[in-house]
Amino acid sequence: MSQEAELGLRDRLAQLSGVKLLRGTKLSAELERLQRQLERLREDTTDEEIWGRVLLARDEKRPYTLDYVERILEDWFELHGDRGRMDDHAIVAGIGSLDGRTVALVGHQKGRDLKERAVRNFGMAYPEGYRKAMRTMELAERHGFPVVTLVDTPGAYPGIAAEQHGQGGAIARSQAAMLRLGVPTVSIVIGEGGSGGAIAIAVADRVLMQENAIYSVISPEGCASILWRDASQANKAAAAFKPDAAHCLELRVIDGIVPEPEGGAQVDHDAAAVLLRESLVAHLDELADVPADELRRARRAKFRSMGVLASV
Amino acid sequence: MPGVSTTGNIDVSIEHKKSDPSGRDGSGGHPNTCPGCGSHYRDDELVEQLRVCPQCGHHFPVRARERIEQLADPDTFDEEDGDLRSADPLEFFDLRPYVERLAEAELGTGLGDAILTGRAAVEGHSCRIAAMDFAFMGGSMGSVVGERFARACERAAEDGGALISVSASGGARMQEGILALMQLPKTVAAVGDLQDGGGVLISVLAHPTTGGVTASFASLGDVILAEPGALTSFAGPRVVAQTTREKLPDDFGLAESNFRFGHVDAVVQRNDLRTTLARLLRLFGAER
């Protein structure tokens, strides 16, 4: 991993070490985990480890958005519908209380059994889902609520109606809406960060990934079927485009990594939620006193600078 | 999302659903043979006709430089940021290294990447133009496309306030991995700064405009125009057909369908594009 990424993690570690242990055991547990994470990241991620992360990110026992909502928010009130056409169940939105403050939360929602998967459309949203996200963010802006998004989707739904209802435009406008917000925003990729469907709700002041989440421009299978002309070469494709958290941090696409319980978030939902909540609260605390104009300016500047260039 | 184009892009395929014996986009027939009516043309004939078939009105694809020649007043185009090139941060290697594909694309197209940007005048109105070139790796958007587009927004904001984009793209460039996806919010941020500062983006969707470009700047024009018959969708027809196993409508994702569903302001014949853009620049108060 790059020196910068390691430095970032060291900073966070130093910062945590300096924080008074208000939350007692939870924080020292995170400290310990961050230390372990640092050890792990110091060694370069192998191709097999990258593929292992892809499998873990898609593990159907992994906590989904609503599993976190019920563990980290109090007084959760879900908002339904895009106020235009329908309620897209692939994205949930609502308001709730986190550590004493009201936040708006938007997240992709997958399903565990056949019926739930159909209802949630495998976490693949229609434009209506992104419109629900946008109107929730507008509500948050009006009332000064921070916006939290949880990203977990194979991608935006590629369907006839989705196209007719303006899928591309909805994804573009959702990003534009996030870039205009004057309230603090934190996005966490909790599973699959699949392409346009993910970035639509991930243009935040702080973008984090869970340790075993992936974030990518295309699915490994999609990439393999195009470049290798064989979808079964997905592990090779994943190794080539490196969708794991350590590489995303190294490329400065994300701002931090949220540790998971030993073995992965699917092993212990409660422990995963504690760790997620700690990171979320820490970042929201840091952003709490930043003026709206500065939030907007810094957020745009961050995304404006994304990419790696050469010149002749 | 599974993608199945062979051009190196996400989420999309570039083929056309209409029964198309001659192979639109040169996929089967000769590039100068009209897939609409089978007429064949010399290249200079097509250039003169703005690459529109005089027999049936089919719009052939237009390369970036030729597009700018069609739209800008003679000798007004001044290319900017032409020195930018893609780096290879992932050291991406599939069946061939990314750097080799880049070198081949540059040799083949004479362009440094899939977008050409610069200052120009359209019927005397000063503006920036950003024209994409599908021949460069399927018009895919990586760091250079994002950066040149973002700089065009910034230069437009400082100087007259008008940007015309002409998109032709299969989507994000997967050889740049997650950084290609990040060009979506990057270009969206640049359009936001331009528009919040009072500037105007006029977005022209040419065939094909799909994937990441549809999901970012191309859909954010103050005015959105599309060329007749242009495929302008987020997911390509083949991906949609494979995912949904439904029969697609004949006009799936085409400009005319998107016009009907309210996603574009006008479908403009290429012969009228220049005067339409000039009228809009006039209305938005672009400097003469």
- Residue B160 maps to a domain: yes
The runs of H, that is alpha helices, within B168-269 are: 177-181, 183-196, 237-244, 255-260
Please tell me which residue of chain B has the smallest CA distance to A168: B215
Tell which of B6, B11, B175 to mutate to test the A interface (max A CBs under 10 Å).
B11
Mean pLDDT over the full length of chain B: 90
Task: Give the pLDDT of residue B2.
Answer: 39
Task: Give the pLDDT of residue B11.
Answer: 39
Question: What is the tally of structural domains in chain B?
Answer: 1
What's the pLDDT band for A29 if we cut at 50, 70, 90? low
CB proximity list for A132: less than 8 A, separation 6 or greater: A79, A80, A81, A82, A87, A88, A91, A93, A106
**What is the residue range of B153's domain?**
61-283
Question: Which residue, chain included where needed, has tokens 């640092």?
Answer: A38
- Residue B34 maps to a domain: no
What's the pLDDT band for B50 if we cut at 50, 70, 90? very high
Sign, Cα dihedral of A288, A291, A297, A300: positive
On whether any CB of chain B is under 8 Å from the CB of A293, the answer is no
> What percent of chain B shows pLDDT beyond 90?
83
By the 10 Å C-beta count (0-12 exposed, 13-18 middle, 19+ buried), A310 is classed as middle
ipTM: 0.91
Q: Is the pLDDT of residue A27 over 80?
A: no
Task: Give the pLDDT of residue A115.
Answer: 95
CATH number at residue B96: 3.90.226.10
Task: Give the pLDDT of residue B24.
Answer: 45
How far apart are alpha carbons B63 and B81 in whole angstroms? 18
Q: Is the pLDDT of residue B9 over 70?
A: no
Q: Is the pLDDT of residue A80 over 60?
A: yes
> What percent of chain A shows pLDDT beyond 90?
79
- Residue B23 maps to a domain: no
Sign, Cα dihedral of B136, B139, B143, B145: positive
pLDDT tens track for A179-198: 999 999 999 999 999 999 99
Sketch out chain A's domains with CATH numbers.
Answer: 45-303 (3.90.226.10)
Q: Is the pLDDT of residue A33 over 90?
A: no
What does the pLDDT average to over B151-161?
A: 95
pLDDT tens track for A270-300: 999 999 999 999 999 999 999 999 999 999 9
- Residue B130 maps to a domain: yes
By the 10 Å C-beta count (0-12 exposed, 13-18 middle, 19+ buried), A213 is classed as buried
What's the pLDDT band for B74 if we cut at 50, 70, 90? very high
- A230 vs B162, which has greater pLDDT? B162
- Residue B22 maps to a domain: no
- Residue B47 maps to a domain: no
- Residue B25 maps to a domain: no
- Residue B24 maps to a domain: no
Q: Is the pLDDT of residue B62 over 70?
A: yes
Residues on chain B touching A300 (C-beta within 8 angstroms): 189, 192-193
- Least confident span in A242-246, A248-252, B229-233, B240-244: B240-244
Tell which of A163, A216, A297 to mutate to test the B interface (max B CBs under 10 Å).
A163
CB-nearest to B234 from A167, A179, A218 is A167
Task: Give the pLDDT of residue B288.
Answer: 73
Task: Give the pLDDT of residue A14.
Answer: 57
Q: Is the pLDDT of residue A7 over 80?
A: no
How far apart are alpha carbons B128 and B115 in whole angstroms? 13
